[in-house]
Amino acid sequence: MNVEEFKSIFFWEWGHRVLGRLAGIGFVLPLVYFAARKRLSASLPRHLAAMALLFAGQGFMGWYMVKSGLEDSLLETPGAVPRVSHYRLASHLCLAFLLYAGMFSTGISTLMDWRFAHKGTWSGITGGEAAISNVLTNPIVRKFLTRSRLLCGLVFITAMSGALVAGLDAGLLYNEFPLMGGRLAPPADELFSPDFAKKPDGSDLWWRNILENPTTVQFDHRCLAIGTYIATTALWMSGRNPVVRAALPPLTRSLLTGAFAMANIQVLLGISTLLYLVPVPLAAGHQAGSVALFTMLLHILVSLRRPGAAARVWQQAMKARAATVAARKL
């Protein structure tokens, strides 16, 4: 590596650290300010404080991850390439997803609560708490919500498996799709190679291959990605059913279409990343695509959330005030 190549890597590392610190400061300082001025609803300080702790944990995990690439054995061995632990890399991404999920869900929920409190609309529906209750207690909607939660969890697991692929450079193997070496799956002795077992009795053969064998890690990610796409398509098709469509709020229906569209884009990004030997722009786009799909599903879940207690009380107060004003005019 020459100096110019090092400068490029240093820039991204330095920029990532600075952005992380700015994000933490930009979150914690306003939280302290608004909490001190009692401008938050009763439950928000607790939720936001938990996210602040996640910020701290994310910073620690980032340091812990980088530290794994600076081991003396890596630096002293001729020809060795410093590489961070793929376990710590996946943990770093996991915390990022959890933090993002908490911030996004809280932000969207707050906006929806404000809209309900001041305008009386919820996920494109008007009619107050009675209309909302009719939607949320509908067995069709409850079943749809359960499926959406499961799919959201599947997207999260698939994204975490993608972190293992990145950490092991597993995307540089079998750069073809849908086959792997001319067959649907690599040979069993390659998927579960005894070379990855560290215990004499081989009792760790299965889990070490699943988490540390680049071939197996890529195969698992493919299976999870295909399963995610099929599940997203199935959920979208269920939403096309006239009975289900009539039961879902307008916002939920729109988000479901967006999730299906994003799943198609994500599949194209994933296949392109694999076929073109993982160029950085495509790999970054593929990772961003997983966040976008995760966001769509989070928004679907929030769109089927009952307004908060504060919003319901405020909305009732607004109705009572409107009724009082109308009575005075009479």
In this predicted structure, what is the pLDDT of residue 327? 77
Which pLDDT band holds residue 326 (cuts at 50, 70, 90)? confident
Q: Return the residue matching tokens 């994003």.
A: 262
pLDDT digits (tens, 9 = 90+) for 193-252: 999 999 999 999 999 999 999 999 999 999 999 999 999 999 999 999 999 999 999 999
Whether residue 26 has pLDDT greater than 70: yes
Share of the chain above pLDDT 90, in %: 82
3-state secondary structure 84-97: CCHHHHHHHHHHHH
The Cα–Cα gap between 72 and 1 comes to 19
Sign for the pseudo-dihedral over CA of 70, 76, 77, 81: positive
Read off the pLDDT of residues 166-177 as tens digits, 9 standing for 90 and up: 999 999 999 999
Average pLDDT over residues 25-53: 92
Cis peptide bond upstream of 178, omega within 30:
yes
**What whole-number distance in Å separates Cα of residue 235 and Cα of residue 304?**
15
What global pTM score does this model have? Answer: 0.93
273-319 pLDDT, tens digit each: 999 999 999 999 999 999 999 999 999 999 999 998 888 888 878 77
What is the longest distance spanned by two Cα atoms in the chain? 91
Instruction: Specify the length of the chain in residues.
Output: 330
**pLDDT at site 3:** 93
**Tell me, what amino acid is at 12?**
W
Q: What is the mean pLDDT of residues 48-76?
A: 89
186-208 as b/e, with b when 16 or more CB fall inside 10 Å?
beeeebbbeebbeeeeeeebeeb
CB atoms within 10 A of CB 96: 18
pLDDT of residue 80: 67
